[in-house]
């Protein structure tokens, strides 16, 4: 069942044909696996992402979505968990095994784990986490995440080591999945990421794409932040800076929202809407909403 908000935004979608074509081109080529959609607040970034998600569905492409909010400040582990859950828990058994080991007191890992531990416990030699272990050893085992957020207190492992090992295990699992099926990952409202999460995404997750460790995957990052100026990144990125709507765009939008307008009133309303909103898509939508509310109240009063 289609979300009503999603359906409405699809019906009202205008003016982003060039950006959508660039997205489809990115899907068809491995030349630039990253796309950054950026613009000021209200410029239609989320609506464009919804249209891209719809395109993935039409092409039967698997996708994952992470949206940052003021109340949902996803860290690196939350990002990996969300991608895993969207792709399928069964593809990330080794990663989930390690997540549980680091967070659930008394958890016995299914995959061999061997490393030095400081604290009240010692991991048995056959239970220890080794980078030499074969991730495929637990590929056929369905392991559920305990979803504990706080690392276990009886296992003293530095955060940097825990993050590194979890990232490596996640990338290994993801690479195995990508060997058989492509994936598109959407990040929305990236300006709300913490600095630590942003650094991890670029230095670890996206860098694995740039270096060819992860293939058959595309990322779309949407937000108010412009693409990095680093030349080593620019050759991998398709940029989509969103600009205000023009008169023709507003007219097309009005035709969708108010189809019974005659040409004269359509031209007048287009001019007034452009003057009042400066082409900001969110303001255009609100202005037309107000017009329709007024029109409806007049009909009701009459």
pTM comes to: 0.80
List residues bridging with 67 in a β-sheet: 188
Q: What is the third-level CATH fold of 1-73+183-243?
A: Rossmann fold (3.40.50)
Question: Which of 183-197, 224-238, 286-300 is least confident?
Answer: 286-300
Can you name the residues that pair with 183 across neighbouring β-strands? 62, 217
Quick: pLDDT tens for 243-287. Answer: 888 899 889 889 988 899 899 999 999 999 999 999 888 888 889
Domains of the chain by residue range:
1-73+183-243, 92-181, 247-301
Q: What value does the CA radius of gyration of the chain take, rounded to a whole number of Å?
A: 24
The predicted structure's pLDDT at residue 215: 98
pLDDT in tens, 47-91: 899 899 999 999 999 999 999 998 888 999 999 999 999 999 999
Overall average pLDDT of the 2-8 stretch: 52
Put the strands of the sheet holding 183-188 in their side by side order.
Answer: 62-67, 183-188, 217-223, 34-38, 237-241
Residue 256 has a pLDDT of 87
């Amino acid at each position: 069942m289609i979300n009503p908000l999603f359906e409405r935004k699809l019906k009202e979608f205008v003016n982003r044909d060039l950006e959508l074509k660039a997205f489809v081109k990115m899907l068809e080529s491995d030349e630039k696996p990253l796309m950054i959609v950026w613009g000021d607040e209200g410029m239609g970034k989320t609506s464009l992402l919804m249209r891209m998600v719809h395109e993935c569905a039409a092409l039967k492409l698997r996708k994952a979505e992470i949206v940052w909010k003021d109340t949902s400040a996803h860290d690196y582990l939350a990002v990996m968990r969300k991608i895993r859950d969207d792709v399928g828990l069964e593809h990330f058994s080794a990663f989930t095994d390690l997540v549980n080991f680091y967070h659930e007191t008394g958890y016995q890992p299914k995959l061999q784990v061997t490393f030095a531990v400081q604290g009240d416990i010692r991991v048995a030699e056959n239970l220890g986490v080794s980078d030499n272990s074969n991730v495929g050893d637990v590929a056929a085992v369905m392991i559920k995440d305990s979803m504990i957020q706080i690392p276990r207190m009886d296992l003293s492992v530095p955060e940097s080591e825990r993050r590194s090992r979890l990232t490596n295990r996640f990338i290994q699992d993801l690479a195995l999945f990508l060997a058989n099926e492509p994936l598109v990952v959407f990040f929305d409202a990236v300006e709300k990421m913490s600095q630590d999460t942003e650094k991890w995404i670029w230095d670890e997750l996206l860098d694995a794409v740039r270096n060819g460790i992860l293939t058959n995957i595309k990322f779309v990052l949407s937000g108010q932040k412009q693409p990095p100026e680093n030349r080593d990144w620019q050759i991998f990125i398709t940029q989509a800076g969103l600009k205000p709507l023009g008169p023709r765009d507003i007219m097309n939008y009005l035709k969708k929202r108010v189809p019974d307008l005659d040409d004269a009133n359509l031209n007048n309303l287009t001019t007034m809407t452009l003057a009042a909103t400066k082409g900001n898509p969110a303001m255009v939508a609100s202005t037309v909403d107000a017009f329709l509310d007024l029109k409806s109240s007049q009909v009701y009063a009459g």
